[in-house]
């Protein structure tokens, strides 16, 4: 009864994964014994795969593991016949376990365990299916927004806008806005700007010279669909402070409300 149930279960399991490739592998079986182990092993890329092969107990049979695709002998007894050190054998009682440490999608396929019983060898096929690791869905994540930081240096406000170059936007130009109006960076009396590209990052820097409360507002740097904003408030009262705390207080006076976001 139990054997029947497990046979049905095994059939279900096999038909579950019954691609022609898997079936043609499992048909290579030549064994009088019902294997207690699954003949189809699913494992995720980089995980170890364990392929089991039980041999009749208390006998001294030679067990060999080979790969069906190229008929390469991998293991015979306890000897390894492949230069790929990911392949190992672990013998636990009557179970000869072929271990593939860090399995790769290319390892998918049919593996054969051969036991040299007399008069005919036992052949236990195991189909290994290594699925690719789920990518960290970069295309489904919102594209990286930019980041806009403001700092005070003397009487200048330094706006530092960083875009990741893989965050979309292609070769699109960066432009700057203050309160949703385009800033005329051609006005070099008021603004100095520079661009730096380094290791996948685009840094745009704009210096507002002679900052005053007229420069308060919400600043934004925009590149394609990426946009980063920062509210800047220049507190002129801070200028009256002693020189020691002058810069610190001015810096504090700038509100760091980082509102980096993406609009579609």
Ligand X SMILES: *[C@@H]1O[C@H](CO)[C@@H](O)[C@H](O)[C@H]1NC(C)=O
- In angstroms, the CA 76 to CA 96 distance is 10
Q: Any bridge partners for residue 99, and if so which?
A: 50, 88
Give the 3-state secondary structure of the chain.
Answer: CHHHHHHHHHHHHHHHCCCHHHHHHHCCCECCCCCCCCCEEEEECCCCEEECCECCCCCCCCEEEEECCCCEEEEECCEECCCCCCEEEEEECCEEEEEECCCCHHHCEEEEEEECCCCCCEEEEEEEEEECCCCCCCCCCCCCCCEEEEEEECCEEEEEEEEECCCCCCCCCEEEEECCEECCCCCCCCEEEEEEEECCEEEEEEEECCCCHHHCEEEEEEECCEEEEEEECCCHHHHHCCHHHHHHHHHHHCCCCECCEECC
Binding-site size for ligand X (CB under 6 A) equals 16
For the four alpha carbons of 225, 230, 231 and 236, in that order, the dihedral sign comes to negative
Asked if 103 touches ligand X (CB under 6 A), the answer is no
184: contact with ligand X by CB under 6 A: yes
| Stretch of residues binding ligand X (CB under 6 A), selected from 70-78, 85-93, 182-190, 239-247 | 182-190
Give the nearest distance from C-beta 55 to ligand X in angstroms.
26
192 and 183 Cβ atoms separated by less than 8 Å: no
Judged by beta carbon, residue 17 or residue 76, the one nearer ligand X is 17
Region of 17-25, 71-79, 89-97, 218-226 interacting with ligand X (CB under 6 A): 17-25
Q: How far is the CB of 159 from ligand X (least distance, A)?
A: 9
Q: Is 165 one of the binding residues for ligand X (CB under 6 A)?
A: no
Contact mark string toward ligand X, 55..94, x via CB under 6 A: ----------------------------------------
CA separation, residue 245 to residues 159, 164, 251 (Å): 21, 35, 10
Please report whether residue 45 would count as binding ligand X according to CB under 6 A: no
Q: Which is nearer to ligand X, 175 or 237 (CB)?
A: 175
Nearer of residues 186 and 242 to ligand X, judged by Cβ:
186
At its nearest, how many Å lie between ligand X and the CB of residue 137? 18
Q: Using the rule CB under 6 A, which residue among 24, 78, 131, 245 binds ligand X?
A: 131
CB of 2: closest distance to ligand X in angstroms? 28
19 lies in the binding site for ligand X (CB under 6 A): yes
* Residue 160 touching ligand X (CB under 6 A): yes
Of 73, 123, 192, 203, the one binding ligand X by CB under 6 A = 203
37 binds ligand X (CB under 6 A): no
Question: Which of 10, 14, 17, 231 contacts ligand X by CB under 6 A?
Answer: 17
Instruction: Please report, as ranges, the residues that interact with ligand X according to CB under 6 A.
Output: 17, 19, 21-22, 42, 129, 131, 147, 149, 160, 162, 182, 184, 186, 203, 205
């Amino acid at each position: 009864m139990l054997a029947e149930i497990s046979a049905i279960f095994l059939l279900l399991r096999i038909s579950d994964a019954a691609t022609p490739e898997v079936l043609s592998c499992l048909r290579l079986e030549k064994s009088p014994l019902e294997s207690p182990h699954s003949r189809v092993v699913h494992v995720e890329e980089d995980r170890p795969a364990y392929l089991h092969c039980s041999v009749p107990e208390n006998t001294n049979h030679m067990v060999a593991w080979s790969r069906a695709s190229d008929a390469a002998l991998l293991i015979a007894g306890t000897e390894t016949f492949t230069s790929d050190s990911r392949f190992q054998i672990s013998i636990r009682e009557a179970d000869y376990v072929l271990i593939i440490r860090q399995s790769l999608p290319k390892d998918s396929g049919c593996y054969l365990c051969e036991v040299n019983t007399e008069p005919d060898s036992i052949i236990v096929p195991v189909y290994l299916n290594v699925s690719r690791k789920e990518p960290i869905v970069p295309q489904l994540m919102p594209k990286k927004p930019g980041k806009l930081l403001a700092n005070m240096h003397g009487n200048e406000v330094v706006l530092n806008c960083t875009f990741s170059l893989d965050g979309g936007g292609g070769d699109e130009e960066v432009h700057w806005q203050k309160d949703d109006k385009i800033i005329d960076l051609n006005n070099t009396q008021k603004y100095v700007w520079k661009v730096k590209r380094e290791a996948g990052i685009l840094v745009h820097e704009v210096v507002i010279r002679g900052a005053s409360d007229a420069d308060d507002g919400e600043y934004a740097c925009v590149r394609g669909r990426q946009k980063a904003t920062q509210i800047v408030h220049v507190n002129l009262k801070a200028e009256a402070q002693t020189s020691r705390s002058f810069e610190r207080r001015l810096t504090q006076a700038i509100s760091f409300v980082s509102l980096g976001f993406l609009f579609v």
